[in-house]
Amino acid sequence: MKAKLIIPAIFISSLLLTFSCKNEKKAAAVPEVKRQEWAIVMHGGAGDMAQERMTPELDSAYRRGLKEAINTGKKILSEGGSALDAVEASIRKLEDNPLFNAGKGAVFTHDGKNELDAAIMDGSNLAAGAVAGVMDIKNPITAARTVMTKSEHVMLTGIGASLFAKEQGLEIVPPSYFYTETRFGELQEILKKEKMGTVGCCALDKNGNLAAGTSTGGMPNKKYNRVGDAPIIGAGTYANNATCAVSATGHGEYFIRWTVAHDISALMEYKGLSLKDASELVVNDKLVKAGAKGGVICLDNLGNISMPFNTKGMFRTFATADGKEGTYIFKGEKE
């Protein structure tokens, strides 16, 4: 009889204890941080570009290109569209802009070809898609998204990726579409020296979903079907609603081995670092010590943005629901 009473008593008192502990926790909790309704950040590559070599015309053309791209994503997000749609559409703008090393405007391989890499990731379910070494898909970021949604795979390369894109009805162009030497010979020279112009985007939508995407022609003068970090999930591209979205730009051979994008997310997840501290640690400490040049743009699930780089400049632009926005190229520009 007694035993029968003791068990429910233990149960009730432990319930009460849990309840009071929960309440205590609540009382001690820090005030809730307000989350941005939506946010978006993009890069157009990082490098040691010499400010004196940038003509005022080129400077404003780059800034105009970045603003056009971010405005595309901003419109989608403010109207309630998804982070994935914003990432894809904004990156397509820069892929179509010959100033950037992605899509039209991609740098040349050692053999004078253009081989393009791209990836996209959905932070809500960790779905991802990527293409590498493609030569005739007009918008590799769309191909990456199609791999994510319409195939059972994460990454397709070369001829197989092209075949898949054709089957899916994506826009195919002759490889000469990417060949912009006559019109942009001068620019190619700059890109070759500065090794920059990759594009990337991270977005947070009104539903709290994060997405990241990156698209590039890779490193100029690359050989033997070299693939960089951009299409490798966790290296150049990563998104996870639990932590952040990241898109990287820089010397891919380092970004792959230092698993840069995932490292930032892991530092947040396992060490509780803020987005800013995690991204600064990776870019301005770990990568610097490794001798790797580059930067990242990233966005956490509250809409905080961080854009660290360890080069002289990084094309970058952002916009948030509270009306803040900015477009920058060089280090030291007031953000």
Residues that bind ligand ASP (CB under 6 A): 45, 195-196, 198, 216, 218-219, 228-230, 236, 249-250, 252, 255
In the Cβ-directed half-sphere of 63, how many Cα atoms lie within 13 Å? 13
Asked if 325 and 298 count as a contact pair (C-beta separation under 8 A), the reply is: no
Least distance (Å) between residue 199 CB and ligand ASP:
9
Least distance (Å) between residue 31 CB and ligand ASP:
39
Q: Return the closest-CA partner of residue 45 out of 116, 3, 117, 94.
A: 94
Shorter beta-carbon distance to ligand ASP: residue 196 or 275: 196
Least distance (Å) between residue 312 CB and ligand ASP:
14
C-alpha triplet 40, 45, 48: angle, nearest 5°: 135
Q: How far apart are CA 130 and CA 134, in angstroms?
A: 11
Shorter beta-carbon distance to ligand ASP: residue 249 or 304: 249
Shorter beta-carbon distance to ligand ASP: residue 234 or 236: 236
Least distance (Å) between residue 105 CB and ligand ASP:
12
Shorter beta-carbon distance to ligand ASP: residue 77 or 248: 248
Helices (H) and strands (E) in the chain, counts: 10, 12
Catalytically active residues, by annotation: 198
Q: How far apart are CA 245 and CA 262, in angstroms?
A: 9
Q: Return the closest-CA partner of residue 286 out of 314, 312, 250, 320.
A: 250
Long-range contacts of 159-164 (CB under 8 A, 24+ apart): 161/131, 161/132, 161/133, 161/134, 161/137, 162/134, 162/135, 162/136, 162/137
| Measured CA distances, 202 to 43, 120, 317 (Å) | 9, 10, 11
Least distance (Å) between residue 213 CB and ligand ASP:
13
Shorter beta-carbon distance to ligand ASP: residue 98 or 236: 236
**Which two tokens mark 327?**
């477009």
